Amino acid sequence: MITPPPEWTRGYFAPLYADVYEGPLADATNTELEADFLEEVFAEVKGEPLLDIGCGFGRHVQPMRKRGHHVVGLDLYPHLIQRMSKRGRRAVCGDMRRLPFAEAALAGAWCLFNSFGYFPHEENLAALKDWGRVIRPEGHVVLQVPNRPVMGKIAEEFAPSQMMTNDFCVTEVYDYDRDSKSMKGRGLWQFKGREQPWEFTLRMYTLKELERALGKAGFDTVEVREDFDSEEFKERASTQLILTARRRAARSLP
């Protein structure tokens, strides 16, 4: 059963979210590194349809289009999609668990920047299975998630913190729920006279759990790394888990 999106997503991804991540929390260098990596993964399908799942305001859509890729963005909230440049805006509003595309319609997809894990495990698995439905055999998916063995410990030990600049302040607190295997965060953004309290719950995964879930969705692991400019991944040291997987042919599905 597919449930409504968690209520926290409505508050977290409010308009100030885009202002903050296009403004004081923007990181153009990392965005280019991420786009360079995606360019390598999808080099052989340039010009064929790709999907950015959880595209937000198009942080990866735009640089990939500049590299000659045909990218469609998907996000749950239309006010984020509307932040994209009107010229060539190609995005749809939808739920990652029920993609509005036909079977095998896409050459590949990616889901980056902690955009996966918003739902209970069975619904996260349902999302992966639907991605497997719309990605054609031999197509790739790139998934970036927190590495639970490390990030769970960091969240448990995290002390409340505050970061300030001339016109921006963020207060944040994190914790780890062992029962749900989820990182929980809450805090407050204050930016140019506006403020927004926020919270989130993110179901985290180990490498083995993620590979098992992707396997059930019809994917085989191609590569695992800890960062977009580093190939090494250490299960007990890496904070991030970036996994590239390939869609199996239909005849080899379990």
In the chain, where the domains are located: 7-146+204-252, 150-200
> Model confidence over 171-187: pLDDT tens digits?
999 999 999 999 999 99
Q: What is the CATH number of domain 7-146+204-252?
A: 3.40.50.150
Question: Does residue 37 surpass a pLDDT of 60?
Answer: yes
Torsion of CA 51, 53, 54, 55, to 10 degrees: -20
> What is the Cα–Cα distance from 107 to 214, expressed in whole angstroms?
17
Output the pLDDT for position 170.
97
Name the DSSP letter for residue 138. Answer: E
89 band by pLDDT with thresholds 50, 70 and 90 = confident
Section 30-46 average pLDDT: 97
What single-letter amino acid sits at 102?
A
Contact (Cβ atoms closer than 8 angstroms) between residue 129 and residue 217: yes
* 104: alpha, beta or left? (left if phi > 0; alpha if psi -120 to 50): left
Output the pLDDT for position 85.
80
Match 């929980």 to its residue by tokens. 184
What single-letter amino acid sits at 61?
V
Read off the pTM: 0.96
Question: Does residue 253 surpass a pLDDT of 60?
Answer: no
Output the pLDDT for position 88.
64
> What is the Cα–Cα distance from 215 to 246, expressed in whole angstroms?
10
> What is the Cα–Cα distance from 224 to 242, expressed in whole angstroms?
6
> Model confidence over 198-223: pLDDT tens digits?
999 999 999 999 999 999 999 999 99
Percent of the chain whose pLDDT exceeds 70: 97
> What is the Cα–Cα distance from 160 to 173, expressed in whole angstroms?
5
Which of these, 223, 167, 149, 191, lies nearest to 19 by C-alpha position? 191
Cβ atoms < 10 Å from Cβ of 95 = 16
